[in-house]
Chains A and B, each alone.
Chain A
Amino acid sequence: MSEDDSILRTVGLTKHFGNIVAVEDVDFSLREGEVMAVVGDNGAGKSTLIKTLCGVHEPTSGEIYVRDEAVEFEDYSDAREKGIETVYQDLALAEQQTVAANVFLGHEPVRPDFLGRFLGIVDKAAMRDRARESLDRVQIPVDPDAKVRDLSGGQQQAVAVARALQSDPDILILDEPTSALSIEGARNVLRVIDDLREQGLSIILISHNIRQVLTIADRISVLAQGRLTGVRDADSATRDEIISLMMGADEEGDVEEFDLSGAEEGATV
């Protein structure tokens, strides 16, 4: 069973929606302290895979292991308890509320005095200060009192990451964090990912930008039509190799007809 020093691992993970096969028989693994990229075309099953890892979806079959302990997640909070946090593709921010309120959404600090704890009075000063600290950690300047809807895409992404870091997770999952950003915004997010790896987090990075993941990731898992078609070291992998895996090639086999222009487009978003 235990093949390596993985912190998170799946065996035969499968998720069907009715007769749609979203994820099929996937053996995925994440090593401690690495950035593991998950790439694949639209609809390849990337989001579904990570949603089973963070408790949004219950797998149809297969197992999930966190540090070699078999786990079953009823919902997000179960995954959070095991140290897994997720930055969703839609960010899951309450856009009319302030940055500070979003960083602490659902976990607002209360005033330490008796009345504060008894009535659940939010300690707004502490919330603002700690939100600022968290945002400093991701090194993107955002005013904690600003409303999220007034922020740029990159800043919103930073707020979502800062919130995910609140529970001090061991594993951070980011679903397409750069796909909606400007080049500048994307560069910032990649820098944040680099910093977090330095700080010891294990990171799953969903993307369909191959150039990007070859630069930032340690390893790359490739999904095609719900199946894991290959895992490569980012150092030695080539772009063409990844693209052919994305087109559905097996470990050794190669693909006859693939539309490079389409893949190219995905690669340079």
Chain B
Amino acid sequence: MSTEMQDDEATEAAVSRGAESRLRRLLQRRQIGVFIGFLLLFGLIGVTRPELFFSWDDFSGILSQLLRQAAPYVIIGIGMTYLMIGGEFDLSVGSMYAVAGLTFAMLLTDFQLTVPAALAVVLLLGAVVGLTNGVIVTKVGIPSLITTIGMMSILRGFAYWLTTGGSRQLPDDLGLLELFGGSITVAKVEIAYMVFWMLALIVVFGLVLQKTRFGHHVYATGDDESAADRSGIDTDRVKIANFVITGVVTAVAGVLAISYFSSMFGSAGRGFELLIIAAVVIGGTNLFGGEGSISGMFLGSLVIAVIPVLLVLNGVSVAFQETLTGAVIIGAVMVDIFLRD
């Protein structure tokens, strides 16, 4: 800063001219870098289990599994990207995901609601949870770390209560559910409809973030809240909206997941919060807000999703998988911070 201030006008102009293309290049490098990271991890499957890579039957199976694994991360990650660009985060998404799926099942079986009605109730529930998080963080002033850990616990308890310790099934005679839980197979690659919903949400929320005034305000709020506030932006409202968006997309993810698998455990989504935050950060969203993108988060989610696939295929024990995943995440975020300075 202080050295820049000593600059004379000539260099000042040069700095501003060079800045745009330099930054664009940096941004492109990030997206490309993450994609290369993903390809390396994916390629590692081929190196360690070549026989799977060179049989299309197995390879298509791996692709199917990868897409299915990544889709919920990406869908929830959309909300988390908004939140983190705006300078907050939400640790209750994993629990919300389970509560959404299980509530959906309960409404369809115990309450005999129609699919659209059950869906509406679950989305509303997601919105209410998000609203609660947002209001407590902004208006009461309790940091999101505490607020959303509390919410995580409350919702997880609710999920266990809904399943009384086990799991819940969806009825399998509801035609409309096919829209959420179905899949098509292209060249032996099974693509769950979940993936199409994911793509649609990426497009819509990506456009809102990049094109609208609200999107601009999200960036400004996370960049410098006091500056945004003094420019007339209602930063509390922006943050509350981000929490609500997160609650709603998480509810969508829960509904899509239980529709696809047709059952869900009370422990579903445990640990999602960390994985999704890691995907968002790996994708280039500043840990402290103000910059980031949905496309980056998408690539980050692929990285996060490929790790367990790689480990499972190599017979790594579940216990060690968790440890290794955690280490990879910390390493990735460290690399991110290192690259930034």
Among B19, B214, B231, the residue within 8 A (CB) of A146 is B19
CB distance from A7 to the nearest CB of B (A): 22
A184 CB–B CB distance under 8 Å: yes
A window 144-176: CB within 8 A of B: 145-147, 150-155, 163
Chain B residues whose CB sits within 8 angstroms of the CB of A151 once the complex forms = 4, 12, 15-16, 19
- Are B211 and A182 in contact (CB-based, < 8 A)? no
A108 CB–B CB distance under 8 Å: yes
CB distance from B3 to the nearest CB of A (A): 10
Chain A residues whose CB sits within 8 angstroms of the CB of B231 once the complex forms = 92, 105-107, 163
A143 CB–B CB distance under 8 Å: yes
- Are A106 and B232 in contact (CB-based, < 8 A)? yes
A21 CB–B CB distance under 8 Å: no
B window 275-292: CB within 8 A of A: 286, 290-291
- Which residue of chain B has the shortest Cβ distance to A109 in the bound complex? B213
Surface stretch bound by A, among B220-228, B311-319, B328-336: B220-228
- Are B12 and A77 in contact (CB-based, < 8 A)? no
CB distance from B206 to the nearest CB of A (A): 14
- Are B291 and A96 in contact (CB-based, < 8 A)? yes
- 0/1 per residue, A55-91, Cβ < 8 Å to B? 0100000000000000000001100100000001011
Given contacts A96-B291, A120-B214, contact A182 B8 (CB under 8 A): yes
CB distance from A117 to the nearest CB of B (A): 11
Chain A residues whose CB sits within 8 angstroms of the CB of B13 once the complex forms = 141
- Which residue of chain A has the shortest Cβ distance to B22 in the bound complex? A150
Chain B residues whose CB sits within 8 angstroms of the CB of A94 once the complex forms = 219-220, 223-224, 227-228, 290
Chain A binding surface, main DSSP class? loop
- Are A142 and B16 in contact (CB-based, < 8 A)? yes
Given contacts A105-B220, A106-B220, A120-B212, contact A92 B19 (CB under 8 A): no
- Which residue of chain B has the shortest Cβ distance to A56 in the bound complex? B230
B140 CB–A CB distance under 8 Å: no
Among B23, B212, B230, the residue within 8 A (CB) of A150 is B23
- Which residue of chain A has the shortest Cβ distance to B13 in the bound complex? A141
A29 to B294, CA, bound (A): 51
- Are B224 and A95 in contact (CB-based, < 8 A)? yes
- Which residue of chain A has the shortest Cβ distance to B292 in the bound complex? A96
B217 CB–A CB distance under 8 Å: yes
A93 to B16, CA, bound (A): 16
B window 1-44: CB within 8 A of A: 1, 4-9, 11-13, 15-17, 19-20, 23
A142 to B227, CA, bound (A): 20
- Which residue of chain A has the shortest Cβ distance to B290 in the bound complex? A96
Among A56, A110, A146, the residue within 8 A (CB) of B20 is A146
Max count, chain A CB within 10 A of own CB: residue among B23, B233, B286: B23
CB distance from B14 to the nearest CB of A (A): 10
CB distance from B228 to the nearest CB of A (A): 6
- Which residue of chain A has the shortest Cβ distance to B223 in the bound complex? A94
Chain B residues whose CB sits within 8 angstroms of the CB of A188 once the complex forms = 9
CB distance from A47 to the nearest CB of B (A): 14
A142 to B23, CA, bound (A): 16
- Are B23 and A147 in contact (CB-based, < 8 A)? yes
A173 to B189, CA, bound (A): 64
B188 CB–A CB distance under 8 Å: no
Among A90, A91, A122, A142, the residue within 8 A (CB) of B213 is A122
Chain B residues whose CB sits within 8 angstroms of the CB of A180 once the complex forms = 5
A142 to B13, CA, bound (A): 7
Chain B residues whose CB sits within 8 angstroms of the CB of A145 once the complex forms = 20
Chain B residues whose CB sits within 8 angstroms of the CB of A122 once the complex forms = 211-213, 215-216
- Are A92 and B217 in contact (CB-based, < 8 A)? no
A185 CB–B CB distance under 8 Å: yes
A window 92-149: CB within 8 A of B: 92-97, 101, 105-108, 110, 119-122, 141-143, 145-147
Known: A141-B16, A145-B20, A185-B5. 11 other contacts (CB 8 A): A56-B230, A88-B230, A92-B231, A94-B227, A97-B219, A106-B232, A121-B213, A122-B213, A146-B17, A146-B20, A188-B9
The 4 closest A-B pairs by CB, nearest first: A106-B231, A94-B223, A150-B19, A153-B5
- Residue ranges of A at the interface with B (Cβ–Cβ < 8 Å): 56, 76-77, 80, 88, 90-97, 101, 105-108, 110, 119-122, 141-143, 145-147, 150-155, 163, 180-182, 184-185, 188
- Residue ranges of B at the interface with A (Cβ–Cβ < 8 Å): 1, 4-9, 11-13, 15-17, 19-20, 23, 211-217, 219-220, 223-224, 226-228, 230-233, 286, 290-291
